[in-house]
């Protein structure tokens, strides 16, 4: 984590990033903050252009996965085309659960979408492959096995049902409602449960989690997909990848 980018003399950024945001709004804001802090800029004009469509009207992804609500796919695709029409050259979705629908969305949109989970899995394999990872994620992400589809078998530890219900989901939706202090207390309880189950690494498997949990809060490494996504996007915007 914590990639350092150095701007070479004469380097230009010409890939405009479009962010399919609003899932949720605070996670989108956190992602934008990470992007800005990663860019090696000395003045405003050194930053690349970034387009954000924060669309909180996109239907809840977990509800859709459980069959309790409408599919978010049409709204996400509409948002993607809105960003493309405004000049985006590639897209990012700072929502883990939305990646359950990645293939259908990418098939419908003719500009690249960075796959946050695939990039995170590659980071895990390169930096943390010997560590078992405790996963903090939504019920929808766990039901769809979004991480399991990309991570090595047996590498992930998920919370037991009581921990998932009483701590993880309450914390995630607490962030969405602005209850940050109480949500932090809940997510730390979930972290302690994962530690007792053998976790040697924590994956912030929902983009609300890094709003209330950072590496200083815990005694083992934290792998944050939102940070990985930000690093990959900055590399692309600065033509480093």
pLDDT for res 239: 83
Concatenated DSSP letters of 164-218: IIIIIIHHHHHHHTT-HHHHHHHHHHHHHHHHHTT-SEEEE-STTHHHH--GGGS
- What are the residue ranges spanned by the domains of the chain? 17-116+227-237, 117-224
95 is catalytic: yes
Fold of 17-116+227-237: Rossmann fold (3.40.50)
Exactly one of 19, 35, 95, 186 is catalytic; name it. Answer: 95
86 is catalytic: no
From first to last of its 241 residues, the chain has per-residue pLDDT tens of 446 545 444 445 568 999 999 999 999 999 999 999 999 999 999 999 999 999 999 999 999 999 999 999 999 999 999 999 999 999 999 999 999 999 999 999 999 999 999 999 999 999 999 999 999 999 999 999 999 999 999 999 999 999 999 999 999 999 999 999 999 999 999 999 999 999 999 999 999 999 999 999 999 999 999 999 999 999 999 986 5
pLDDT for res 10: 43
The CATH-assigned architecture of domain 117-224 is 3-Layer(aba) Sandwich (3.40)
Do 117-224 and 17-116+227-237 fall under one CATH topology?
yes
Q: Model's pTM, two decimal places?
A: 0.93
Residue 20's DSSP bridge partners are 53
pLDDT for res 126: 97
Two tokens, residue 220:
């083992």
User: Is 63 exposed, middle or buried (CB count within 10 Å of its CB: 0-12, 13-18, 19+)?
Assistant: middle
pLDDT for res 1: 40
- In whole angstroms, what is the distance from residue 80 CA to residue 58 CA? 12
Exactly one of 190, 206, 211, 237 is catalytic; name it. Answer: 206
- In whole angstroms, what is the distance from residue 62 CA to residue 52 CA? 23
- In whole angstroms, what is the distance from residue 160 CA to residue 154 CA? 16
Report strand pairing: 50-54 vs 17-21.
parallel
């Amino acid at each position: 984590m914590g990639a350092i980018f150095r701007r070479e003399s004469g380097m230009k950024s010409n890939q405009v990033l479009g962010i399919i945001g609003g899932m949720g709004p605070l996670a989108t804001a956190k992602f934008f903050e990470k992007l800005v802090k990663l860019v090696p800029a000395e003045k405003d004009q050194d930053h690349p252009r970034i387009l954000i469509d924060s669309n909180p009207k996109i239907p809840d992804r977990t509800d859709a996965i459980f069959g309790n609500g409408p599919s978010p796919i049409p709204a996400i695709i509409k948002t993607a085309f809105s960003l493309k029409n405004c000049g985006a050259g590639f897209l990012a979705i700072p929502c883990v659960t939305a990646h359950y629908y990645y293939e259908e969305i990418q098939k419908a949109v003719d500009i690249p979408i960075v796959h946050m989970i695939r990039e995170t899995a590659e980071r895990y394999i390169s930096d943390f492959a010997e560590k078992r990872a405790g996963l903090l994620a939504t019920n929808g992400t766990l039901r769809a096995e979004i991480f399991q589809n990309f991570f090595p078998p047996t590498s992930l530890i998920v919370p037991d049902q009581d921990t998932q219900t009483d701590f993880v989901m309450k914390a995630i939706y607490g962030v969405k409602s602005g209850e940050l202090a109480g949500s932090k207390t809940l997510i730390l309880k979930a972290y302690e449960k994962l530690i007792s189950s053998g976790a040697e690494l924590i994956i912030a498997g929902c983009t609300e989690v890094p709003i209330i949990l950072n590496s200083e809060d815990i005694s083992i490494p934290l792998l944050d997909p939102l940070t990985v996504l930000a690093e990959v996007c900055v590399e692309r915007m600065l033509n480093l990848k």
